[in-house]
Structure 1
Amino acid sequence: MAETFNPSVPIYLQLCERIKNRIIRGEIGVGERLPSVRDLAIDSGVNPNTVQRTYRELEEEGIVEKRRGQGTYVTENQETLGRMRNELKERHISAFVREMNEMGYSEAEMLEGLKHYFDEECTKEGNQ
């Protein structure tokens, strides 16, 4: 089934983000083989060249490694994966804070809102 993509961001970058998110969530394990270029292209509904570029980008970042004749695998380097995890966290926090600032929220209001959100989530989880 073809995926939906944001037309204002290059598809290969969106695929990179999706793969990184799947690694962080544990859907793709450390040292695990990624789908072949052809399989991911078919599943995503994109050109195989786009997937090739995605894998090349991830390899340049050290997140995946190619093994000749075997495929592309998630790195086992915990330092690299930890750095990736922190970079994604920082990027999402930055986007959140920027959007909240644009809407006129202060730091105190954001922190209060986050505390309230987490308190409510803990209450919901405790009642289930």
Structure 2
Amino acid sequence: MKFDDRIPIYYQIKQYFYQQIITQQLQPGDKLPGVRQLAVDLTVNVNTIQRALQELITEGVLFSKRGLGNFVTTDHDTIKQLKHRVVSGQVAWYYHQLEKLGLSPASMQQALADYIEEENHDPKS
């Protein structure tokens, strides 16, 4: 995983797990690798992993079973809310970026529609 020096690493790790859960690469009830293994895999300090995981547990995205490890929540409402929160955050960021460029909401909608059309255009048709 490549980290952005301007954003705290623990926060980027949380975002990584959000993405894994939202895209169903991590399923409800899946066990995460151990803290030490995650630290090795992501090449970060164990304390950084523990902070990210603790926040995910506090948020209800993960749960911990003493002696067994950390698991993805099985609460589908929590996952649904997580997806909504992440998508809303991304939309808000892009909205403000386009607003800084002087685009009106109607222009933003048209730009998004045009982009989607281009991305979904099949050159073989």
TM-score of Structure 1 vs Structure 2, range by shorter chain: over 0.9
The aligned runs of 1:1-128 (5 Å cut-off) are 3-124=1-122, 127=124
Moved over 3 A (4+): none
Residues of 2 paired with 1:120 and 1:7: CA distance?
33
What amino acid is the match of 1:19? F
C-alpha offsets along residues 69-102 of structure 1, whole Å, 9 cap, x if unaligned?
1110000001111111100011000000000011
TM score, norm. by length of structure 1: 0.92
Q: CA deviation at 1:121?
A: 2.3
Residues of 2 paired with 1:90 and 1:16: CA distance?
16
Cα distance change, pair 127–75 in 1 and its aligned pair in 2 (3 A): farther
Q: CA deviation at 1:127?
A: 4.0
Q: Give SS of 1:46's match.
A: coil
What amino acid is the match of 2:90? H
For structure 1, the 5+ residue unaligned runs are: none
Q: Give SS of 1:65's match.
A: strand
For structure 2, the 5+ residue unaligned runs are: none
**More deviation, 52-61/115-124:** 115-124
What amino acid is the match of 1:41? A
What amino acid is the match of 1:12? Y
TM score, norm. by length of structure 2: 0.94
C-alpha offsets along residues 15-51 of structure 1, whole Å, 9 cap, x if unaligned?
0001101111111111101111011100111001110
What amino acid is the match of 1:121? E
Q: Give SS of 1:72's match.
A: strand
